[in-house]
Amino acid sequence: MRSSGDGTAAGGPYPLHSGAAGHSSQRPTVVVGGDGATSDEVGYRGPTACAAAGITYRQLDYWARTGLVEPSVRPASGSGTQRLYGFRDVVLLKIVKRFLDTGVSLQNIRTTVQHLRDRGSGDLARMTLMCDGATVYECSSPDEVVDLLQGGQGVFGIAVGVVWRDVEAALSQLHGERVDTGETLIGHNPGDELARRRNRAG
């Protein structure tokens, strides 16, 4: 396996970011996943994003202001503007919360968030993030996870696909908002609602 100096690699498991020297480059690669059931046409206000991700509004606001996880649908632009988060944003918020709870450094979390933003939904669904406290690794297969654990490096892991499904289930019970019309979508999967509307319109 090849590993570059910026924490990326080709051909299998690799570290997203290393906080310590001397780690082998032959480590797993991890990603978050989903089946694309949640539409880009639906956004979620701050309180909804907090509820689905299990964070406080204070955390949400701080992470947005510091650029850790910003709302991709509608950023705050002045007094009275409501931030609107996309589904993937909420998944990232939940992953950040889990990493912080286990003591991963903010520098490693920032690198991981950027890496996940660059990946497709299919990649995310198959991805597992492993951390040994100093380095976050991306694993895309069970064998890579096992290799990492056998090397004594893995301390804990986050299956991105599981987080994705957890967020999807949580948001299906909360209010979403149509990006184009501002219409509130209540108490059901927004992706299903959009599909029904398209069918009626067609």
User: Are 156 and 131 contacting, i.e. CB atoms less than 8 angstroms apart?
Assistant: yes
User: Could you tell me which residue, 176 or 17, shows the higher pLDDT?
Assistant: 176
Check residue 188 and give its pLDDT.
47
Assign residue 59 a region: left if phi > 0, alpha if psi is -120 to 50, beta otherwise? alpha
Check residue 44 and give its pLDDT.
94
What are the pLDDT digits (tens) for 106-126?
Answer: 888 999 999 998 888 778 888
59: which 2 tokens? 């955390």
Query: What is the chain's mean pLDDT, rounded?
Result: 75
User: Are 154 and 147 contacting, i.e. CB atoms less than 8 angstroms apart?
Assistant: no
Above 70 in pLDDT, residue 97?
Answer: yes
Say how many C-beta atoms besides its own lie within 10 A of residue 199's C-beta. Answer: 8
Above 80 in pLDDT, residue 25?
Answer: no
What are the pLDDT digits (tens) for 34-84?
Answer: 333 345 678 999 999 999 999 999 999 999 999 999 999 988 776 667 889
Above 70 in pLDDT, residue 15?
Answer: no
User: Which of 53-57, 143-147, 188-192 has the least mean pLDDT?
Assistant: 188-192
User: Could you tell me which residue, 77 or 31, shows the higher pLDDT?
Assistant: 77
Above 80 in pLDDT, residue 141?
Answer: yes
Whether the full predicted model's pTM is greater than 0.85, yes or no, is no
DSSP 8-state assignment for residue 84: B
> How far, CA to CA in Å, does 171 sit from each of 48, 103, 129, 186?
8, 27, 23, 10
User: Are 109 and 100 contacting, i.e. CB atoms less than 8 angstroms apart?
Assistant: yes
Dist. CA 64–CA 84, nearest whole Å: 11
φ/ψ (deg, to 5) at 128 = -130, 130
> How far, CA to CA in Å, does 202 sit from each of 38, 108, 191, 192, 196?
20, 47, 17, 15, 10
Say how many C-beta atoms besides its own lie within 10 A of residue 144's C-beta. Answer: 22
Rg, Å, the chain Cα set: 18
Check residue 64 and give its pLDDT.
94
